[in-house]
Chains A and B, each alone.
Chain A
Amino acid sequence: MEPVIEIRNLSFSYPDGKQALAGINLLVQPGEKVALVGANGAGKSTLLYHLNGIFTGSGMIRVNQLELNKNNLPRVRAMVGLVFQNPDDQLFSPTVYEDVAYGPTYQGFDPHIVREKVALALKAVHMEDYTLRNPYHLSSGEKKRIAIATVLSMQPQILAFDEPTAGLDPRARRELIDLLLELQQTMIIATHDMNMVEQLTPRTVLLNHGKIAADGPSLDILRNDRLLMTNGLI
C-alpha cells in the first residue's frame, strides 16, 4: 500500500534562527492513527503546520503521492484537515453554519452541495442543532467539535490535530476521544495526553528537539519510562 503521507528529510528553522525540525523522515499508511508526542517546543505543531503548507521547510513532503509545492498547495489543503489547538483561531464566522461552510464555499461548490456537506460534517460531530449559533459563545468542548466539523466539511483524507484534548473537562475529553475513534480518516495527533494515546492511537512518534527520538507501537513507547523521562514526558 502506498503511504498517504511521506516526509523525507524535512528541516525547518524559524525566522529567528531557531531550528524547529531537523531531518524528519516519516511514512504514514492510509487509515493509520498516529500520535505525535514530545515536550513543549519539540516541534510537534511545526511538523503539523507543514502537512498543508502553512510552514514550508526544506525537504520533501508527499500527500497522496502529490508532492507538496506551491502549485499543489490548494489541493493538498483539501486533503489535509488541520484542526488548530485553539478553536477560537479556527472559528471566525458569526455563525456555526458559515464557519463549517467556509471550506467548501471557498472550494467553489454550489450552495446546495455546500449545505449537504455542512449537514454531514455537523452530523459527524453530533452538532446538528448548532447551525445558527455564534461559535464564540459555545463551550470549549462544543467549539472543538465545530472546529473539527469545519475541516470535515472539506472531506479530507487526513486529519491533523494540535492538542485536541487540551483544556477540555473530563467528559468533553472522553466524548472527543469517542468521536475521534468513530472517524475513519488517517489521523496525526500532536498531544501531551498519554491516556488518549493509549486509547486512540496504535502508533506513536516521539519528537525531541526537532528530531524523531522514537517511532513505534504506542504501548511499547508508553511503557518505556526511561525513554519518556529522557524526552521530557514524565
Chain B
Amino acid sequence: MASPALKSAHPLKTTPKGRWLRELYTPNHSAVHRIDARVKVIFTLAFIVFLNLTPSGAWPAYVLFFTWMFSLSLSSRLGIVFVLKRSLLALPFVLAALPLVFTGPAPLGHISVLNAPPLTYSVVGFYRFASIAIKAWVSVMAAVLLAATTRFPDLLTAFSQLKVPTLFITIIGLMWRYLFVISDEVTRMLRARTSRSATAPRSNRSGGSLFWRARVTGGMAGNLFLRSIERSDRVYAAMLSRGYTGQPAAQKTTRLQKKDLLVLAAGVILLVILWLLGVITGG
C-alpha cells in the first residue's frame, strides 16, 4: 500500500496515546501470582508492619528486607524496571522526611557546595532520614507487588474474607471501578482543550498567562467534581433500582488450604527473625 517514496515523506509517527491510568495488575503465571490472595494481603501487611517497627539504622536488617522483597519481585516476573518505576510512589514520603536531616540533634556536620556558605546537617538526623526513606521505599515495593500480582476482585474478596467491614470494601470497589471512567473523562476533556489550544496565524505568542491557565485548570477540576457527584447519584439510583440494599451478594468462603497456611506461617516467622535482627543491630 504505502510506497517507499511516500513513506519517507511521512512527518507523523504513530504515538501511543492511550489512557494514562493503567491497572497495576499484570497477568503472569508465576508462583507469586498463584498464592491465595488472603495470604498475600496478610503477608504484605505483616511485612510492612515489621519493616517499619525495625529501629532506625538497622542496616543489615534493611538489606535483608530489601533483598527479600526484590527476589519476590523477580520471581513474580514483573520485571525489575516495572517494580522500581512503580515504587517511585514512595517519593512523597521520602520528601516529607527530608527536614529531619537539618533538624535532628547534635553532633552536627557541615558541608559546603561551591564556596556557598556551609550547610549544617545532623548526622543522627541523616541516619533517621535514610532509614525512613528505605522503609518507605521497600514498603511501597511490597504494596506494588501485592497489587501487581493479585486481580483486584480477588483483593476485594480477600478483604471481605478477612472481615474488613463491607462498607469499606464497597467504597474501595466502586472507587476502583469509576476511577477509570473518570480518567477517561479527564482524557476527553484534555483532548478538547488541546484541540482549542492554538496559535493565531501570523502570531508567535500563545498560551495565555500562568494565572489564566491555572484558572482554566481549576474550572476543569470543578467541573469534573460536579460531574462525579451527579454520576454517583445516577449510579446509586441504578443500583437501588436493581435491588441494592447495602449488603453485597453472599460469597462462598473457602478455607485456606494447609499449603497456604504453611507459606504464610513461614513468611511471618522469617519476618519476626528479621525484625529481631533489626532490633539487635539497630540504634
Residue positions of A touching B, CB distance < 8 A:
8-9, 11-16, 22-23, 49, 52, 54-61, 67-70, 74-82, 84, 86, 88-94, 98, 102-109, 136, 150-151, 154
Contacts and interface: CB of A to CB of B under 8 A. Distances in A.
B227 A108 contact: no
B206 A57 contact: no
A9 B2 contact: yes
A77 B196 contact: yes
A166 to B, nearest CB: 15
B198 interface: yes
B216 interface: yes
Given A61-B12, A102-B216, A74 B199 contact: yes
A196 to B, nearest CB: 22
Contacts of A70: 11
10 contacts: A16-B18, A22-B1, A55-B17, A69-B11, A70-B11, A78-B201, A82-B196, A89-B185, A104-B200, A108-B199
B214 interface: no
Contacts of A77: 194-199
Contacts of A60: 6, 9-12
A93 B216 contact: yes
Q: List the 3 shortest-distance A-B pairs measured between CB atoms, nearest first.
A: A15-B16, A74-B199, A78-B198
Contact of B208 (A84, A92, A106): A106
Interface in B38-76: none
A108 B203 contact: yes
B189 A89 contact: yes
A106 B9 contact: no
Contacts of A69: 11-12
Contacts of A67: 11
A106 B197 contact: yes
B194 A86 contact: no
B191 interface: yes
Residues of A contacting B: mostly: mixed
A123 to B, nearest CB: 19
A78 B199 contact: yes
A14 B15 CA distance: 9
B14 A151 contact: no
A8 B2 CA distance: 10
A106 B17 CA distance: 23
Contacts of A11: 2
Given A57-B14, A109-B200, A49 B216 contact: no
Contact of B191 (A76, A80, A89): A89
Contacts of A75: 198-199, 201
B172 interface: no
A9 B200 CA distance: 28
A9, A12, A22, A89: most-surrounded residue (chain B CB, <10 A): A89
B220 A92 contact: yes
Contacts of A52: 195
A141 to B, nearest CB: 19
B14 A13 contact: yes
Interface string B206-221: 1110001000100110
A91 to B, nearest CB: 8
B188 A86 contact: yes
A151 B2 CA distance: 34
Contacts of B12: 56-61, 68-69
B196 A106 contact: yes
Given A8-B6, A74-B206, A107 B192 contact: no
A44 to B, nearest CB: 16
Contact of A102 (B11, B193, B203, B226): B193
B215 to A, nearest CB: 8
Contact of B198 (A14, A54, A94, A103): A103
A78 to B, nearest CB: 4
B222 interface: yes
Contact of A54 (B9, B194, B200, B216): B194
B97 to A, nearest CB: 37
Interface string B159-198: 0000000000000000000000000010011011111111
B203 to A, nearest CB: 6
Nearest to B226: A136
B2 A74 contact: no
Given A23-B1, A86-B188, A106-B207, A58 B14 contact: yes
B245 to A, nearest CB: 32
Nearest to A160: B195
Contacts of B192: 82, 84, 89-90, 92
Contacts of B13: 56, 58
B28 interface: no
Contacts of A9: 1-2, 6
A107 B216 contact: no
Nearest to A61: B12
